[in-house]
Structure 1
Amino acid sequence: MSFDFDLFVIGGGSGGVRAARVAAEAGARVGLAEEYRYGGTCVIRGCVPKKLMVYAAAFADAFEDARGYGWKVGPARFEWCDLIAAKDAEISRLEAVYHDGLRRAGVALFGARAVVADAHRVRLATGAEYTAKHLLIATGGRPVIPEIPGSELGITSNEMFQLEAQPGRMIVVGGGYIACEFAGIMNGLGTHVTQLYRGDQILRGFDADLRDHLAAAMRERGIVLEIQRDLVSIAREAGGLRVELDNGEAHVVDAVLFATGRRPNTAGLGLERLGVELKANGAVAVDAWSQSGVPSIFAVGDVTHRAALTPVAIREGEAFARTVFKAQPVRPDHLMIPTAVFTRPELATVGMTEAEARSAGEVEIYRTRFRPMANILAGRREKMLMKLVVEPGSRRVLGCHIVGPGAAEMVQLAAVAIRMGATKDDFDSTMAVHPTAAEELVTMRSDAA
């Protein structure tokens, strides 16, 4: 059978773009349909604009801390509209890079929604249809909004990046990456932030010491963090939005941000009709090679809900393309994934938590808390936390967890060593770089378990 394309990709985010480029560079005829903007959640309304806003919020600390180092700093004023304009310009630049990279690789681009018509055919919103030997679903995810009275008055992370004015008072609902990051961003930019989370502590699934340390630090910075608390309704009134909580309290705020999870974006794609298995949350069920139960249909990235992180989507997309179009079988490795939460202070981790390690047997715990040098003259009381989880006997480092400045940069490098099987003795025998915060990783000596 003759096909229009060797590969047709639905979705122009990180995973889909990488797969399309690698396949095209291998000589495949590739088509890609994107209904919104190239770059996906990460570039357009996710990690990239979020990190830019994290940098913006950090200047509040810099202005304040400078006085301790002899700088005479005048009154500082933040302009929300200037930040949003600068952010938008950078996102447009990055989108153009993605778009041009695909075109240079020879990918045929279609600016329209696409659905799966059958195992080898896609249909565009324009009415056009194309056939392909392989189809790749890379449609990412979308925010979930709880079903409560007035929920339509709230916003999600999608709208957060496009607010025309900075809210003076804000409630953030949720306890995961997005909720904690935006709570820190908006607090740093001067918004009064209340964060509600119905669980017993923020960042479920992370090491307990990190969760507790970060929660205390967020409160110290002025965020009103209320755990085991949820909202039950939102209503508009003259002074803003009236929010009712499950304990009977009420708040009037300017904005409510729902950061209450994300769902794989598979609705209306036509996959169920073809027999592609979807999990309870809508995720495409795939095997280790990212292949669905229909042999010609593959899926990568957040739409599979394996690990909803941009680098994972990129790795999955490349592994798929190398396997199918370069005859280089590669299965993405979802073990020992390093990750960072760009809160204020920053948190990063790789490997097993203490609880996970203890469930498998005995462990050794090495832990230190200290004020980083930069905080001393600044008069800032905030401390860093570093923690290593170690397997007795082999002394292999099972996990590394950090809260504090530069946490993500340190964990990225530690992840290489830990994936290679580094032991605590390897850490101990490595010469320290002094004076740095990172040297604590190689100078912790006492088992704190």
Structure 2
Amino acid sequence: MAGYDYDLFVIGGGSGGVRAARVAAALGKRVGIAEEYRFGGTCVIRGCVPKKLYVYASQFPEHFADAAGYGWMVPEASFDWQTLVANKDREISRLEAIYKRNVEGSGGETFHSRAMIVDPHVIHLLGEDRTVTADQILIATGGRPAAHPALPGHEHCIFSNEAFDLKELPKAIMIEGGGYIAVEFANIFHGLGVETTLVYRGKEILGRFDMDLRRTLHETMEKKGIKILCHAVSESVSKRPDGRLDAQLTSGQVLTVDQVMLAIGRIPNTENMGLEGVGIEMTAATGAIKVDRFSRTNIDNIWAIGDVTNRVQLTPVAIHEAMCFVETAFKNNPTAPDHDTIATAVFSQPEIGTVGLYMVTSSSAAVGCTA
């Protein structure tokens, strides 16, 4: 190890990468970590944290309505979208600084740069135009919303990333998808006063959950006023002269809305990192990095954890995989991540969650996502 600049170099500053870097550095290892965008990754910057803030904001209309029954006379309320966005930005900036500071406080070195692997032990930092060497390399670059380039008019659509930072709150939105993200954002936008339509190709939202839960949530959302159209997908999206969008569905319906949001899955961030050049094996279907049960790639000193492996796309799982990686790589204690009976929650309204054979329907099902 002494012949390298670092004992460990981590590519990706999300929850998994930061946890691995911080814990390894605390063990006395020489650690470097590169993040090209913002430390905190999907969870902190454009996922769990801002989503929960928006969920909380969207619940207030129901709280105001309920207050009268408890003796509270609440005056007519108004909502300001720009204030919510600004306060969200302030909070994630605070958390981003903590993530970065935690690594540095443990003795690690952080780089704000894209990193490419040019050799099994060599990383090129594009932002600094220099190379560094490492005994072990950990890839934790996460994933991003799946695009839909085959959809005519896809350039008019937004994804979950953009939904957090819209310049103005739309009057009407169509969300395509039936998973966590689609369902959560449908409830968020509806709660903020947006006319919301959820379009899903399947027969019922939230596949892989218990059918009774799925149907109950579906019915509850519709009672609130959210339109849910199953067995349908968009065929095209076109922009009208007034700037609004017409979404043509396979059912024959045309929805006229201000925004069309696609929430049709996520794909790993593996492009333009030099992975093919060093021979790292990836899946043909998604481009995810192939790993063994200890998170090691086909190259002995290169590992991968989190969404980039497309195993289980959950923040606490990435953190767990990071801890198992440290045990295996630096503590001589080979530890495989346990992916059985993972607790998971959907921040719908009402929330639903599951672990093993048991289902619950309260916010107590929430899964923590601290690094």
The normalised TM-score by structure 2 is 0.95
- The 5 Å alignment of 1:267-282 reads 267-279=271-283, 280-282=285-287
Which residue in 2 is equivalent to 1:293?
Answer: 298
1:321 has 2:331 as partner? no
Larger radius of gyration: 1
- 2:49 aligned residue: 48
User: Which of 1 and 2 has higher RCO (CA within 8 Å, sep 6+)?
Assistant: 2
The Cα shift of 1:269 comes to: 1.3
Question: For 1:183 and 1:406, how far apart are their aligned partners in 2?
Answer: 18
- The aligned counterpart of 1:360 is none
Is the CA contact (8 Å cut-off) linking 1:170 and 1:257 kept in structure 2? yes
SS at match of 2:124: strand
Give the unaligned 5+ runs of structure 1: 352-398, 413-449
Q: Is the 8 A contact 1:43 1:94 kept in 2?
A: yes
RMSD: 1.3
Matched, 1:232 2:235: yes
Could you tell me which residue of structure 2 aligns to residue 402 of structure 1? Answer: 360
Question: How many positions carry a matched residue from both structures?
Answer: 363
2:21–2:108: 8 Å Cα contact kept in structure 1?
Answer: yes
- Does the aligned pair in 2 maintain the 1:22–1:322 contact within 8 Å? no
Runs of 4+ in 1 over 3 A off after TM superposition: none
Deviation, 1:238, is 2.7
Are 2:118 and 2:277, in contact at CA under 8 Å, matched by a contact in 1? no
The residue correspondences of 1:223-372 to structure 2 (distance < 5 A) are 223-239=226-242, 240-279=244-283, 280-351=285-356
The question of whether the paired residues in 2 share the 8 Å contact of 1:196 and 1:229 is answered with yes
Give % identity.
51
Pairing 1:129–2:86 present: no
Give the drift of 1:243.
1.2
Q: 1:205 aligns with which of 201, 208, 212?
A: 208
Compute the displacement of 1:407 (Å): 4.5
Is contact 2:174–2:260 with CA below 8 Å preserved after alignment?
Answer: yes
Residue equivalent to 1:419: none
2 CA distance for matches of 1:248 and 1:201?
19
- Note the alpha carbon deviations across 1:90-125, whole angstroms, 9 max, x for none: 000000100111111111111110011011111111
**1:172 to partner: Cα distance:** 0.4
| 1:3-23 deviation digits (Å, cap 9, x = unpaired) | 111111000000000000111
Deviation at residue 168 of structure 1 after TM alignment? 0.7
Say yes or no: does 1:222 pair with 2:225.
Answer: yes
What is the CA–CA distance in structure 1 between the aligned matches of 2:261 and 2:267, rounded to whole Å? 17
Q: Out of 138, 141, 147, which is 1:139 matched to?
A: 141
Shift of 1:406: 2.4
**Native 8 Å contact 1:264 1:305 kept in 2:** yes
Aligned residue in 1 for 2:37: 36
C-alpha offsets along residues 359-385 of structure 1, whole Å, 9 cap, x if unaligned? xxxxxxxxxxxxxxxxxxxxxxxxxxx
SS of match in other structure, 1:170:
strand
Where 2:205 maps in the other structure, the secondary structure is coil
Question: In 2, Cα distance between the equivalents of 1:145 and 1:131?
Answer: 34
What residue in structure 1 maps to residue 28 of structure 2? Answer: 27
Structure 2 distance, partners of 1:258, 1:11, is 25
In 1: Cα distance, 2:23 partner to 2:79 partner: 42
